[in-house]
Structure 1
Amino acid sequence: MAPAVHLTCHHTDGPLALAAVTGDIDFDTAPSLRDRALNLLAQGHHHLILDVADVSFCDSSGLNALIGIMRCAQEQGGTLSLAAVPDRLLHLLQMTGLDTVLPTHPTATEALTAHQAQQHNPATA
């Protein structure tokens, strides 16, 4: 049995939430991740940064969950970005072309900095 996926919110600032994702994102766990992230969106945190440093595995179900979260955020005028993406997941994002629509950042701190810069200069989007 695959380890459960956990989403733990570490920081909120108005419409922004930074959450850490740990475990495997697969067929069994992707719906839970999606539900938890959509709950953050429903709470008014339309800009999500997911720190995925401790994601040990992600399959196509996991990618679909990330796409669904991104689309829901966009529908609410928000964004989804990933921080501290492990090499295996980054390679998967690159192979599928998702890296062109789903921003990634080396660290959560850099993701927060990029988000703040984007909010102060939206014309660079």
Structure 2
Amino acid sequence: MYACSVRVRHQDVVVVDLPLIVDFYTEREVHGAVMAALTDDCRHLVLSLDHTRDFDSSGLSLLLGLWRHTQDHNITLSLTDLPAFIDKMLRITAADTVLATHPTAQDAIYALNSGTAQYQPMVREA
């Protein structure tokens, strides 16, 4: 899988599968594809990294940039199906303190529906 694909679009939730490679060379393409998947009524974006096998600092930068965009537009962002090496990268860089993670997309959607997901943007200090 070399491109992003929308797995589910239901009401205000969009689930996007990220591609096999998310790195310096693919970051712009992936960013564009994720942004294109967002619709005006999207309130919850779920990114699945289940297929991702190559992920570098540009991939991390992409996720943090998408997080900032979603925060600015009152959209929740959840990451799911994290390979162990990406989960470790998020923990080492402390990105896991701002990026919500769930074992699966279904778990993320359940958290949204049960009200345990973060709905309000985090307040960023100037």
State the TM bucket, normalised to the shorter chain: 0.7 to 0.9
CA distance in 1, matches of 2:102, 2:67: 16
Percent of pairs with identical residues: 28
The equivalent position to 1:10 in structure 2, one of 7, 11, 15, is: 7
Q: Which amino acid aligns with 1:18?
A: V
CA distance in 2, matches of 1:12, 1:69: 18
Q: Answer yes or no: is the 8 Å Cα contact 2:79–2:101 preserved in 1.
A: yes
Q: Answer yes or no: is the 8 Å Cα contact 1:5–1:32 preserved in 2.
A: no
Q: Which amino acid aligns with 1:77?
A: N
Which ranges in structure 2 are unaligned for 5 or more consecutive residues?
A: none
Q: What is the CA distance between 1:16 and its match in structure 2? A: 1.2
Q: Which amino acid aligns with 1:44?
A: D
| Residue 96 (structure 1) aligned with residue 93 (structure 2) | yes
Larger proportion of helix: 1
For residues 88 and 17 of structure 1, do their structure 2 counterparts lie closer, same or farther at Cα, with a shift above 3 Å needed? Answer: same
What is the alpha-carbon root mean square deviation over aligned residues?
2.3
Between the two proteins, the alignment pairs up a number of residues equal to 121
CA distance in 2, matches of 1:72, 1:120: 18
Larger proportion of strand: 1
Give 4+ residue runs of structure 1 displaced > 4 Å after superposition: 119-123
The equivalent position to 1:59 in structure 2, one of 36, 56, 59, is: 56
Which ranges in structure 1 are unaligned for 5 or more consecutive residues?
A: none
